[in-house]
Amino acid sequence: MRAHLKIVLLLMGAILTACQSRSGLLPKSGGRPYEVLLTGDQDSIVYQMLTTDVEALPQPEPSFDVSTTSATTLNTITQSARNIVMLSIDSTVYSQVRLKMERNVYASPQLILHIYAPSISALRAKQDLLGRKVRDILLQNEMENTVAQLKTHRNVKMEKMLQHRLGITIWIPADMTASKWGRNFVWLSNNTTSGMQSICIYTLPQKIIKKNITSEVFTHIRDSVMRENIKGETDSMYMQTVTESLIFRQFIRGLWTMKGDAMGGPFVCRIKTDSIHQRLIITEAFVYAPETKKRNLIRQSEAVLFTLKTKATN
């Protein structure tokens, strides 16, 4: 954690263990994925943190859907929310901005984030970096929830085919029953008319990337694979990358379009190295959902990428 931030993340180990052990006895939490209940916010500072636009989407969408209440304590209705952020400002108690995280306190699954600050000005001074930290915690929590649900709603038959044909273990959503196979490549999809979600998995020789990958190198690699495997109505129509949209962090994010057509949408890509087989394993989730919000669709598909396992990867 960066020294200039001075945010102390209090992980209450004993409390978390106790909450997890009794989570099976708790009522089910309310609300949909990426919904957050915000209490005690002042000057809408935390609200702004939570509603920052999601990166690499074709239209602006907030990071979370936030409902607010002026109450500083939870009642029997609000305490069942799946994600809760509670702000407390008190100069007599807090000397710096701090975070405290609790899980499965009143319901399950549930995450409660407490933000403590001595003053509004102190909170505002940490707004940018604190906002990223809060969003990351909430996003990771929702990803874990999605993976937990995926564990029992999978296309096991397709997973066995992937293991046999590509030597890859990954969890595939139960509704992804459509597939198209190519050379060291597979495209899986739920094949719906609206809100189509897809997963692409392919392997390439490890030597194809000699140094840190750049936008131009990634675009060349990806577009070459997609041009061969994901085409439109004619061979001159194929999926391609919007290079200027690319964002490199833990995963690679960006936008795709269909050359010669009006189709397009967001994608997220993960690249792992299989050192035993001297290959790269590329897993990618992309969405085609015209005139529909895409945030939840791409995040739901992205969770699949976290389940990738090989015998030797780094």
Expressed as residue numbers, the domain containing 73 is 8-150
Judged against a pLDDT cut of 90, whether residue 254 lies above it is answered with yes
Which residues are CB-contacts of 93 (< 8 A; sequence separation ≥ 6)?
Answer: 116
Q: What is the pLDDT of residues 159-183, one digit of tens each?
A: 999 999 999 999 999 999 999 999 9
| Per-residue model confidence (pLDDT) at position 162 | 96
Contact 45, 125 (CB under 8 A): no
| Per-residue model confidence (pLDDT) at position 260 | 86
| Per-residue model confidence (pLDDT) at position 16 | 44
Q: Measured between alpha carbons, how far apart are the two ends of the chain, in Å?
A: 23
| Per-residue model confidence (pLDDT) at position 227 | 94
Whether 188 and 92 map to the same domain: the answer is: no
Q: Which residues pair with 287 in a beta bridge?
A: 197
Whether 39 and 96 map to the same domain: the answer is: yes
| Per-residue model confidence (pLDDT) at position 4 | 42
Judged against a pLDDT cut of 90, whether residue 258 lies above it is answered with yes
Domain membership of residue 1 (yes or no) is: no
Residue ranges with strand state E in the chain: 8-11, 35-39, 65-69, 83-89, 98-103, 111-117, 178-182, 185-189, 196-205, 239-248, 252-258, 264-274, 279-288
Whether 200 and 277 map to the same domain: the answer is: yes
**Cut 0.95: pTM above it:** no
Phi, psi of 267 (to 5 degrees): -145, 160
Across residues 37-43, what is the average pLDDT?
A: 93
3-state SS, 200-243, equals EEEEEEHHHCCCCCCHHHHHHHHHHHHHHHCECCCCCCEEEEEE
Whether 137 and 16 map to the same domain: the answer is: yes
Whether 97 and 39 map to the same domain: the answer is: yes
Domain membership of residue 310 (yes or no) is: no
Q: Give the number of domains in the chain.
A: 2
If you ran DSSP here, which 8-state letter would residue 251 be given?
S
Q: How many whole angstroms from its chain centre is CA 128?
A: 20
**Average pLDDT over all residues of the chain:** 90
Q: What is the pLDDT of residues 188-224, one digit of tens each?
A: 999 987 899 999 999 999 998 877 889 999 999 999 9
Supply the CATH number for residue 291's domain.
Answer: 2.60.120
Between these two residues, 232 and 61, which has the higher pLDDT value? 61
Q: Compute the distance between CA of residue 203 and CA of residue 284 in angstroms, rounded to an integer.
A: 12
Judged against a pLDDT cut of 60, whether residue 262 lies above it is answered with yes
- Domain edge (last residue) among 110, 131, 150: 150
Domain membership of residue 311 (yes or no) is: no
Judged against a pLDDT cut of 70, whether residue 8 lies above it is answered with no
Q: In which band, very low, low, confident or very high, does the pLDDT at 310 lie, cut at 50, 70 and 90?
A: low
Q: In which band, very low, low, confident or very high, does the pLDDT at 61 lie, cut at 50, 70 and 90?
A: very high
Q: Compute the distance between CA of residue 76 and CA of residue 85 in angstroms, rounded to an integer.
A: 16
Q: In which band, very low, low, confident or very high, does the pLDDT at 23 lie, cut at 50, 70 and 90?
A: low
Between these two residues, 40 and 209, which has the higher pLDDT value? 40
Share above pLDDT 70 across residues of the chain, in percent, rounded to a whole number: 91
Across residues 45-51, what is the average pLDDT?
A: 97
Whether 163 and 234 map to the same domain: the answer is: yes
